[in-house]
């Protein structure tokens, strides 16, 4: 429903704002929990899990084992989120994309392709 001025009622705007604010605070926790679960399955331990806002990547993992995830990934499907997290976690063991990297990803996510 819209008011005569073309804007939605204030209560709808407030509810949308609250929904987005709630997601901003709860989703990073979900991403960290998912990273913890997948790292246990993979057998690695990231040094830290950081939720950031990079401009071009869904995630990354550096040589020190710091896993960085783009907060926007919460908009993706759960399967894609799992893929990105698993992909980056496997970089702790395999810093490149050689066949051993893909073999390990295939063990964790057999249908990743």
Residue environment code for 25-45, b if the CB has 16+ CB neighbours within 10 A, otherwise e: eebbeebbebbeebbeebebe
The reply to whether 29 falls in a domain is yes
Residue with tokens 């979900």: 30
Is 1 a domain residue? no
Domain of 42 in residue numbering reads as 10-108
Domain count, the chain: 1
Give per-residue pLDDT as tens, 30-83. 888 899 999 999 999 999 998 888 888 899 998 889 999 998 888 888 899 999
Helix (H), strand (E) at residue 67: strand 66-70
**What CA–CA distance (Å, rounded) separates 104 from 81?**
17
- CATH number, domain with residue 85: 3.30.2010.10
Give the helix/strand (H/E) hosting 50: strand 48-52
pTM (2 d.p.)? 0.74
């Amino acid at each position: 429903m819209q008011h005569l001025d073309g804007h939605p009622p204030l209560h709808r705007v407030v509810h949308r704002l609250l929904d987005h604010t709630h997601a901003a605070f709860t989703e990073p926790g979900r991403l960290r929990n998912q990273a913890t679960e997948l790292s246990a399955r993979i057998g690695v331990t990231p040094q830290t899990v950081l939720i950031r806002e990079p401009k071009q990547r869904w995630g990354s993992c550096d040589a020190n084992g710091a896993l960085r995830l783009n907060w926007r990934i919460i908009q993706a499907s759960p399967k894609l989120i799992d893929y990105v997290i698993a992909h980056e976690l496997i970089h702790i063991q395999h810093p490149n994309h050689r066949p051993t990297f893909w073999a390990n990803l295939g063990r964790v996510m057999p249908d990743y392709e």
